[in-house]
């Protein structure tokens, strides 16, 4: 069907391919009989054809009010002719002539335009349809069809996604009890044979460990932890990681059990849950650009990068990871390097005990200015007492650690408030039984779908909502709706998209009359009963010119029947369009 009123034969239409079927389908043609049976256009068509009304005021009054906007063209089809009200649109196209579509053809027209014209969104689909066709519920029908399109839901971005509130992990009670780890994969194998860098951050202080490894297997990862982490921090700690294969094998679990390590994994493909390791990977990447000559000499600069990361103070705590661990700033050979000395102790470290004169001075039995004991020849007088120094150091470290713990807790509260406000978070409303699609960015090796890969896979059904600790957000267990197989790992709210492909209500309200191309059905326009067609009144389209006759303005106006008439009055939209056209010509 074309806007010029001609009827397109169904055999000339482009084939419409269904997502689940390869049958070629065609659209039947609209005939005059279809209007006599239609709920929306039957009254208007009957009145324009022979002037017959139903006799009911509720039905006849709307017809009489808008009958000047409808015409029956030479092909016996009903069209709506409108004049643009907006000036900017009227300059482009003063009038529009649109085919009125009966109810039973709307499903097929919406489906054909949407599926074969780039899977328009609701707004674009409406503008495309409204330029050629007319029916009252066009926008609502287009919105419902687009909302339930399976291809659109799998392919398009999830514009309805809302961020869930941030759930920061709690601060460890003590230093050296929790670690976060990940792999920084290298683009080239280094000259030392390394393909990745295992990054491990102590979660209380942020103390980093950068360990070049030849591969990412579980055996290599376990050996690196035993060689570099256990001698420094001991055993019986928690280890946080993602669900990479090197962290999920039976061998890695066995090593963790032997060393008393509690292994905690984040939800699948949720980098935010392992934030400290991810941040350390980014900082490592930046420092490699600063110091490494090329991709093959990365191992040589790892020590200097570790020194920089350990000695750099935290941006909000203003204390370095090294100082949190050892109780003093790292000496890195720069001017004004800090020098930490404990306060003077009251007890000497001399194994022979304090001098009698010193003891008398402290007890008051001798004057304070009594001559001190002279150092013995051949011996170095110690200046501090080991026990007192240990007490001072332990007290100082405890004070620092307590302050760091309070500071980190305050930072996490501030970060949560900032994140929730910036992302306008909303509590997830998923329920057991909801149908969802799952975002999947993985590309299988040798796959032929890389650019053409859909963003979402599924559909799945939520079978369980897992809520563990208060500081950990909910995760969801999914089951494939087609195969009934449950996903191995839990997924987070960020990867879910609501799925709705139920078109029962849409199909019931707008039934489809698509027919297969084999055999092809021919629809012959027929008119029920002898009727005499009512002559159509031509309607003005545009003003061609104007002139004054006896002081009164006259206009030459083109009408829908192709004739040009002289008029002494025109409606305001036509006059506005004509005046705008004249102003444009004078420019």
Q: What does the pLDDT look like over 67-117, one tens digit per residue? A: 888 888 888 888 888 877 776 766 677 778 888 888 888 888 888 888 888
* Length reported for the chain: 587
Q: Which two tokens stand for residue 282?
A: 């980014």
**Given this model, what pLDDT does residue 473 score?**
77
Q: What is the C-alpha separation between 228 and 530, in angstroms, rounded? A: 98
Count of alpha carbons within 13 angstroms of residue 166, beta-carbon side: 18
Q: Which long-range contacts (CB under 8 A, 24 or more apart) does 331-339 make?
A: 332/307
Torsion of CA 54, 55, 57, 59, to 10 degrees: -10
Count the Cβ atoms, other than its own, within 10 Å of residue 408.
Answer: 21
**Given this model, what pLDDT does residue 106 score?**
87
Q: Name the DSSP class of 16.
A: B
Computed over every residue of the chain, the mean pLDDT equals 78
Calculate Rg over the CA atoms of the chain.
41
Q: What is the C-alpha separation between 473 and 496, in angstroms, rounded? A: 14
Q: What is the C-alpha separation between 564 and 360, in angstroms, rounded? A: 130
Lowest mean pLDDT, pick from 241-250, 335-344, 455-464:
335-344
Contact 185, 246 (CB under 8 A): no
Nearest to 278 by CA among 187, 204, 180, 188: 180
Alpha-helix runs per DSSP H in 27-170: 32-36, 42-50, 57-66, 87-92, 103-116, 122-130, 138-147, 150-155
pLDDT tens per residue across span 43-69:
888 888 888 888 888 888 888 888 888
**Given this model, what pLDDT does residue 197 score?**
92
Q: Is omega for the bond preceding 459 within 30 degrees of 0, making it cis?
A: yes
pLDDT tens per residue across span 401-459:
889 889 888 988 898 899 889 988 888 888 888 899 988 887 777 777 778 888 888 89
Count the Cβ atoms, other than its own, within 10 Å of residue 331.
Answer: 12
pLDDT tens per residue across span 503-512:
888 888 888 7
Q: What is the C-alpha separation between 170 and 465, in angstroms, rounded? A: 22
- pLDDT confidence bin for 207, thresholds 50/70/90: very high
How wide is the angle at C-alpha 308 spanned by C-alphas 302 and 312, nearest 5°?
Answer: 150
**Given this model, what pLDDT does residue 208 score?**
93
Helix and strand counts by DSSP (H, E) for the chain: 18, 18
**Mean pLDDT: which of 9-13, 51-55, 173-177, 338-342 is highest?**
173-177
The DSSP result for 451-516, as a single string, is TT--SEEEEEEEEEEE--STTS--EEEEEETTT-PBPSS-B-GGGEEE-----HHHHHHS----EE
**Given this model, what pLDDT does residue 18 score?**
41
The crossing angle, in degrees rounded to 10, of helices 103-116 and 138-147 is 50
Is the confidence at residue 4, as pLDDT, over 60? no
* Whole-structure pTM value: 0.63
pLDDT tens per residue across span 246-291:
787 787 788 888 888 888 877 667 766 778 888 899 999 999 988 8
Classify each residue of 287-296 as buried b or exposed e, where b means 16 or more C-beta atoms within 10 Å of its C-beta.
bbeeebeeee
Q: Bigger pLDDT: 337 or 31?
A: 31
């Amino acid at each position: 069907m074309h806007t010029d009123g001609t009827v397109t034969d169904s055999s000339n239409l482009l084939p419409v391919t269904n997502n689940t079927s390869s049958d070629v389908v065609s659209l039947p043609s609209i005939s005059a009989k279809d209007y006599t049976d239609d709920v929306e256009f039957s009254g208007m068509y009957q009145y324009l054809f022979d002037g017959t009304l139903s006799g009911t005021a509720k039905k006849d009054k709307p017809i009489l009010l808008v009958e000047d906007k409808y015409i029956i063209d030479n092909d016996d089809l009903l069209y709506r002719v409108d004049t643009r009200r907006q000036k900017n649109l009227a300059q482009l196209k003063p009038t529009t002539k649109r085919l009125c579509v009966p109810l039973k053809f709307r499903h097929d027209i919406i489906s054909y335009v949407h599926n074969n014209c780039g899977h328009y969104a609701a707004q674009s689909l409406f503008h495309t349809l409204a330029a050629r066709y007319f029916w009252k519920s066009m926008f609502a029908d287009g919105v419902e069809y687009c909302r339930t399109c399976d291809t659109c839901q799998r392919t398009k971005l999830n514009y309805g996604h809302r961020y869930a509130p941030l759930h920061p992990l709690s601060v460890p009670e003590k230093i050296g009890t929790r670690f976060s780890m990940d792999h920084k994969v290298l683009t080239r194998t280094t000259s030392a044979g390394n393909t990745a860098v295992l990054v491990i951050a102590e979660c209380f202080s942020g103390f980093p460990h950068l360990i070049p490894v030849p591969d990412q297997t579980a055996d290599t990862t376990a050996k690196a932890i035993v060689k570099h982490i256990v001698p420094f921090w001991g055993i019986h700690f928690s280890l946080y990681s993602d669900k990479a294969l090197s962290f999920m094998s039976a061998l890695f679990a066995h090593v963790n059990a032997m060393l008393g390590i509690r292994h905690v994994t984040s939800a699948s493909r949720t980098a935010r849950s392992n934030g400290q390791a991810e941040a350390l990977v980014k900082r490592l990447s930046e420092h490699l650009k600063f110091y490494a000559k090329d991709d093959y000499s990365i191992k040589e600069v790892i020590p200097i990068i570790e020194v920089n990361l350990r000695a750099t103070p935290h941006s909000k705590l203003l204390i370095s990871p090294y100082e949190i661990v050892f109780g003093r700033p790292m000496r890195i050979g720069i001017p004004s390097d800090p020098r930490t000395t404990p306060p003077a102790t009251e007890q000497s470290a001399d194994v022979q005990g304090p001098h009698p004169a010193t003891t008398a001075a402290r007890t008051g039995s001798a004057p304070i200015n009594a001559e001190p004991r002279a150092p013995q020849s051949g011996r170095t007088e110690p200046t501090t007492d080991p026990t007192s120094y240990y007490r001072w150091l332990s007290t100082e470290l405890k004070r620092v650690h307590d302050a760091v713990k309070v500071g980190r807790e305050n930072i996490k509260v501030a970060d949560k408030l900032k994140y929730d406000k910036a992302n306008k978070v909303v509590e997830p409303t998923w329920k057991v039984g909801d149908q969802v699609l799952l975002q999947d960015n993985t590309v299988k090796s040798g796959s032929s779908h890389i650019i053409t890969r859909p963003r979402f896979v599924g559909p799945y059904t939520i079978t369980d909502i897992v809520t563990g600790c208060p500081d950990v957000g909910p995760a969801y267990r999914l089951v494939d709706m087609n195969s009934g197989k449950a996903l191995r790992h839990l997924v987070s709210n960020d990867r879910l998209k609501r799925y709705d492909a139920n078109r029962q209500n849409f199909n019931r309200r707008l039934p489809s009359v698509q027919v297969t191309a084999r055999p092809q059905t021919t629809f012959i326009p027929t008119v029920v009963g002898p009727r005499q067609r009512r002559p159509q009144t031509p309607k003005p389209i545009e003003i061609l010119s104007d002139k004054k006759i006896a002081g009164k303005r006259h206009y030459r106006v083109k009408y829908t029947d192709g004739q040009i008439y002289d008029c002494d009055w025109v409606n305001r939209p036509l006059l506005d369009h004509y005046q705008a056209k004249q102003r444009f010509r004078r420019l």
